[in-house]
Amino acid sequence: MAFRVGVSHDFVSSDHPTSWGDIGLDRLAAEGIAWEFLPPDNGVLTAEHVAGFDAVVFGTPTVTAATVSGSTPPRLLARFGVGLDAVDVDACTRAGVAVTNTPDGARRAVATAALTLILATFHRLVDKNALARRPAWDGRLDLIGQGLTGRTVGAVGLGNIASELFALMAPFATVNLAHDPYRDPREARARGVELTGLEDLFTRSDVVVVTAALTAQTRHLVNAGLLALMRPRAVLVNVSRGPIVDTAALTEALAAGRLFGAGLDVTDPEPLPVGHPLLVLPNVVLAPHALAWTDEMARGNGASVVQAIIDVRQGRAPRYLADRAVLDHPRLRERVTA
């Protein structure tokens, strides 16, 4: 029986295999799996978009309950990326639609982006880049930065990204802390990480890196109270989701000089409106929620979604399921072995 795969329209490119370049879709053809691009979606996948496909690969579109409300929704929605805050996972589970993401593909790329923001902020790269473009380099000594070696780095969340980041920082001999209520302290210690309370983490860290997922519990988790606990020369880095950090509170702390700086790949809102103070503060390094977007991430995410598709076609449960309860749904139970 033919197995059809749809790829959301944000992947369409006029001069590359996809908008992300080569993401390894040739492997689907080698497995005898046909795929095609979906029509434009206006930011939301509809039931009509996904009807009749066995699996759909998607990047930026939102997935709602309406997406999977048709009579023939896919068995798999494979997110090209990690965040699932724009996906109604509960509705998909009720409809018997498995949802996967790609933490294995994004792990190294996002961790590298976090390290890039730490170093760029510590070394005052934005200020020094601006100075280097001027006719005279007066004032270089006014831009003395900070070294990372021996500093204390705290991660909000100890998942794939934070674990990879700590591994990347090994040559800097950092002291590694994390706050994650779902992690076993023994497992963390085996990775060279001390689990601690959130307030203790913000008090002790020279760098706080936000890597936790955005949920109702983590929205504005990093608030004025926690920011007030940070050391005067500390740095906040966010590579997760903007709303985890209270933007107004962070802006106030940075403008008042209570922090050394911030490195933000994500903000709230996105993009920041014209005239927002974060756009002009000299101690802020900004990226457009794309610092990790590299050929390395494209290949990694692509390999992950392709493997999920092949697993489902061959009757295996894909590795990175958002909700394993979906395997109990009749639509999947008859085709996929847990």
Catalytic residue among 233, 270, 324, 333: 270
Single out the residue of 172, 159, 65, 68 nearest to residue 118, CA to CA.
172
Amino acid (one-letter) located at 68:
V
Q: How many CB atoms sit inside 10 A of residue 168's CB?
A: 14
Q: DSSP H helical segments within 206-277, as ranges?
A: 224-229, 247-255
Distance in angstroms (rounded) separating the CA atoms of residues 34 and 13: 19
DSSP, collapsed to helix, strand or coil, labels residue 216 as coil
| Helix axes of 160-168 and 103-122: crossing angle, nearest 10 degrees | 50
Catalytic residue among 289, 299, 316, 335: 289
Query: Any residues with CB less than 8 A from the CB of 46 and at least 6 apart, and which?
Result: 66, 67
Active-site annotation holds for 270: yes
> Which residue in the list 49, 151, 241, 313 is annotated as catalytic?
241
By the 10 Å C-beta count (0-12 exposed, 13-18 middle, 19+ buried), 28 is classed as buried
β-partners of residue 173 are none
Structure tokens at 206: 């020279």
Place of tokens 């730490």: 118
Longest dimension (CA), the chain: 71
Question: Which residues are identified as catalytic?
Answer: 241, 270, 289
